[in-house]
A = this chain, B = another copy of it.
């Protein structure tokens, strides 16, 4: 299908739709109507129908959406079967909460390396693999070709690592550092900025 016609707003809702259908599949639900779905999502049936039609998936009149099929189709659009090779840098509380809370494989990634610079942590095993020293990052990348890096370091280190990793062929970044990493052609960045989220929550409380 031609994805250039999917509106940005629909794409923004895609991860949540995918999560809902996977949850429903796990709960052995086989079909769901746009009305039921809209109620669960806190939106309108027409929005649901419009979004899914833009994504190329249509429910059947009087039947609704086939849950397993939708889970599969949305997964295809997202590309969850690619299992992109990912590394994580920084194993403090933040890095560990990402490691323990996220099922990489279900979301399109495969973790292949864990790095830190703290000598005392090197060799410790997390998620079945040893923490490696950051000094071995270049060599590791040249041998294992990671495609995505999760940055759980302080901001200044993340900014430095970003350029280093781009030169080593890493194409995507999940940035938890709170630092602004400059956009580079060809690089994809998703920022998780907790400070900004807290600021926006404060604003929402303030205008109430």
Contacts and interface: CB of A to CB of B under 8 A. Distances in A.
A208 B188 CA distance: 9
Interface stretch (A44-52, A78-86, A115-123, A157-165): A78-86
Interface string A55-77: 00000000000000000000001
Interface residues of A, number: 59
A199 interface: yes
A135 interface: no
A198 interface: yes
A167 interface: no
Which of A11, A102, A202 has its CB near the most chain B CB atoms (within 10 A)?
A202
Interface in A86-120: 92-94, 96-98, 100-104, 107-109
Given A80-B202, A101-B94, A188-B204, A42 B196 contact: no
B93 A198 contact: no
B190 A107 contact: no
Given A92-B97, A194-B102, A197-B192, A202 B108 contact: yes
Interface in A169-190: 171-172, 174, 178, 180, 182-183, 186, 188, 190
B172 A201 contact: yes
B11 A82 contact: no
A207 interface: yes
A137 B94 CA distance: 26
Interface in A1-36: 3, 11-12, 14-16, 18-19
A18 B79 contact: no
Closest 6 CB pairs of A and B: A79-B206, A108-B202, A93-B97, A15-B199, A15-B196, A94-B97
6 contacts: A15-B199, A19-B199, A108-B201, A108-B206, A148-B201, A190-B197
